[in-house]
Amino acid sequence: MADKCICVKDFEILAAKRLDKNALDYYKSGATDEQTLKENCTAFKSWRFQPQVLRDVLNVNMESSVLGSKIAFPICIAPTAMNKMASHDGEIDSAKAANSLSTGFVLSSWATSSIEEITTNVPDVIRWFQLYVYKDKTVTENLVRRAERNGYRALIVTVDTPLLGKRYQDTRNKFALPSNLTLKNFENETTKEDGFPKGVKSARESGLAEYVASLIDPSLSWEDIDWLKTITDLPIIVKGILTAEMALEAVDHNIAGILVSNHGARQLDGVLPTINALPQVVKAVDGRCEVYLDGGIRNGGDVAKAIALGAKAVFVGRPILWGLACDGKRGAQRVLEILRDEFGVTMKLLGVTSIVELQSVHDLVIHESRILSRL
């Protein structure tokens, strides 16, 4: 089935027919009126290519690295929750897809496969762990220790979730995990009714919203990031930075990387689409830490625009879920292959043969407002 899909949109359309309403609405929805959800994708169209021609592009090298780990191309799998609603093996399928193509995978804290299961089933995958800071710091530290023991190479700390953004569809559906699934990293603490920790089920909200309200620390501050650095030597990437000011604060706290992200447009509606936020973050950081991007990537041209504007790599979320829903590991792998191949074609048509060249040639990608200002 995956082999019949030739672009990410094909996977999205097919996945919508295969997923039940509870899962589909959870995966696809954004916050409130979903302005930013739409703009995450459409904003890429306002960034225009200015290609070089008459360049030798016979051989193109897409290799890159993230925090010293070599990857075959700068497209990694973002942390997305509850992958087993999409395929039987869920996050294990996603990790296998990444490993088969020599790129990176991030496991969500709210995964339906555990930290240990990824290591057991896909021991060679380049893997990071996405972390929330919990009110009970012991819970957070235990997750960190498990990640360390199981060969995870970095922590991606989500910093834009003091509470869960309002998602209308999840509220309407009273979203809950299917009865056969749980948040595996917290399996001993969850109920059979909704898959979430005991005592958080509500008649008004989704189970996940109640879970976040009960356990996630809304007082999260830079002091907590500094605390994390005292308990682990793993590099820390902060996920959820959208402004130059916040990027400068991150640099002041000596983090290893910034993931420019608006949480898939699922937190605060009306924030900048990530591709529009990226240039100011890259400029502010000025090479003092690595910068990545997620949100709205739907084709290889989007990848090229993000890399040309300074991202070290991009992370894709929903497209991987669509792939899983269509054909498990093979579907997720095909999504990555399509994005990789489209990225390679885009590089050749831009007249560049390496990531370094893509980022160093002046004005290969510019905002259309600059073009219009010349007219």
Cβ-contact 70, 313 below 8 angstroms: no
Residue 81 contacts by C-beta under 8 Å, 6 or more apart in sequence?
108, 110, 111, 112, 208
Helix (H, G, I), strand (E, B) or coil at 64: strand
Cβ-contact 306, 298 below 8 angstroms: no
At residue 142, φ and ψ (nearest 5 deg) are -65, -40
Cβ-contact 197, 211 below 8 angstroms: yes
Cβ-contact 111, 87 below 8 angstroms: no
Residue 75, exposed/middle/buried by CB under 10 A (0-12, 13-18, 19+)?
A: buried
Q: Up-side HSE of residue 88: CA atoms within 13 Å toward CB?
A: 2
How far apart CA 327 and CA 217 sit, in angstroms, is 37
- Closest listed residue to residue 130, CA positions, set 113, 143, 117: 143
> 């041209």: which residue's tokens?
301
Helix (H, G, I), strand (E, B) or coil at 238: strand
Cβ-contact 158, 18 below 8 angstroms: no
How far apart CA 68 and CA 65 sit, in angstroms, is 6
Cβ-contact 14, 323 below 8 angstroms: no
Strands 365-367, 104-107: pairing kind: unpaired
At residue 238, φ and ψ (nearest 5 deg) are -100, 130
How far apart CA 321 and CA 307 sit, in angstroms, is 23
Q: Tell me the catalytic residues.
A: 263
